[in-house]
Structure 1
């Protein structure tokens, strides 16, 4: 494990995987994800082994071994975290983002010098009012839960109210060993919501909000993912200046790394 210090003094932990000559990519997880999440570990190793990339796999603030800024949930801080990682990479790096991490990667590409390209896997933009739209007062309820240390309640609330998961499905997850890992990262969901709040309103994305993404972007969605996520991915391509879309066969929002890694690795090495 290595660390960098973000602009506000927060310590961000990361693993450096590989020492390739094809460039560096920073992996940005989504809600409840962290750098030891099995899919992130497997993706990092595959990109290093098969595509000669150096991979920085980090814990977003508030999860894993990274510190947090309790009560302060500002997207600018998470973008500054990425800027510190790009600096640690030597001043240039590509970004891979998954779910809310994909949206964060696109936002960072507008603000961080040295971002060379972006792969955005299923950014959860809600662009159709007929789909699940989180309540407007979500932060007013989420933040007090986190402040009170109600981790289990926070997981349930975020999964049902933001992610739109059925209560029954969440209830089944509650009795699995995996639930403890979700609860351990639950406080960080306020950071996810800070990223996604403007883009989950059931409204079309606006091109002017994304005009600053000047680098090549690949937006991915799985063949078997929720239609809401596919709509969001295709909507992103329509407003980004230099973007392409690809659908991954046999993949859902929980990706199969042997299918995801080639799409990511081939794009990043081609874009470079």
Structure 2
């Protein structure tokens, strides 16, 4: 663990510097962000952290290529798993629970399967798996993002992403003209990472056998006000795990209430 510009960092296995912050005391929980999410733009997660910090040590980090974290190519999911392992060892005393949001939930599960001796439990909020989308389509979507990343078209990648999740054209145009756009465009290239995570997770239209190594308790959550495919996706993921529990939160969408989800995390990790 080191400090750069008064902010804590760790150095991952491949030499990438990963920025993070830690708050609270007690059993550690590492938060794994979803697509486009990082500390400089995320106003929701800090509310949840404040609600949990009296009982847990909460470690919130910028995934590689975002915010205070560097990046080392070529990208591989294994490199992000190494980042999480380094954080668990350096900032959490060698053991931690994981909370993952959206595509970060799938990354958290991949990390749990690879680091089973370090991970005590996992909470997955809305892993964005669409069981009706075939593997070939997932890989094609990744290839399109990877091609844009090769040309450095971060803006094009962000537009493609927000359009794909249903943002209307007029809203996309307004987003590009807003003060927030620069901070999101800055992490546009990392969208290829998330598309790669999802393509690998659903390769061959089946859950990976490696997930069977995640034998710790795993809670898979969706919200009943979210995208229609999220429930089916959460069911699909939970059915593939050896020790999973499913839960649907009333009134919650993909943009969750941090007080509601914070209470769920406190119950799960406080057992």
For the 8 Å contact 2:142–2:199, the answer to whether it is kept is no
For the pair 1:121 / 2:125, whether they are aligned, the reply is yes
For the pair 1:185 / 2:190, whether they are aligned, the reply is no
Cα 1:264/1:224, change in 2 over 3 Å: same
Q: How does 1:226-245 map to 2 (within 5 A)?
A: 226-245=227-246
Report the 3-state secondary structure (helix = DSSP H, G, I; strand = E; otherwise coil) of the residue aligned with 2:122.
strand
For the 8 Å contact 2:123–2:218, the answer to whether it is kept is yes
Query: Any gaps of 5 or more consecutive residues in structure 2?
Result: 1-6
Which shows bigger deviation, 168-177 or 103-112?
A: 168-177
Report Cα offsets for 1:74-99 as digits up to 9, x if no partner: 00000000000110111000000000
For the 8 Å contact 2:138–2:199, the answer to whether it is kept is no
For the pair 1:9 / 2:12, whether they are aligned, the reply is no
Distance apart, 1:239 and its partner CA = 1.3
Match of 1:194 in 2: 196
CA distance in 2, matches of 1:209, 1:77: 16
Q: CA RMSD in A?
A: 2.2
Q: How does 1:186-265 map to 2 (within 5 A)?
A: 186-199=188-201, 203=205, 205-206=206-207, 208-265=209-266
Query: Any gaps of 5 or more consecutive residues in structure 1?
Result: none
Report the 3-state secondary structure (helix = DSSP H, G, I; strand = E; otherwise coil) of the residue aligned with 2:72.
coil
For the pair 1:82 / 2:88, whether they are aligned, the reply is no
CA distance in 1, matches of 2:138, 2:270: 40
Report the 3-state secondary structure (helix = DSSP H, G, I; strand = E; otherwise coil) of the residue aligned with 1:245.
strand
Which shows bigger deviation, 103-112 or 171-180?
A: 171-180
Match of 1:47 in 2: 52
Aligned residues: 262
Report the 3-state secondary structure (helix = DSSP H, G, I; strand = E; otherwise coil) of the residue aligned with 1:35.
coil
When normalised by structure 2's length, the TM-score is 0.89
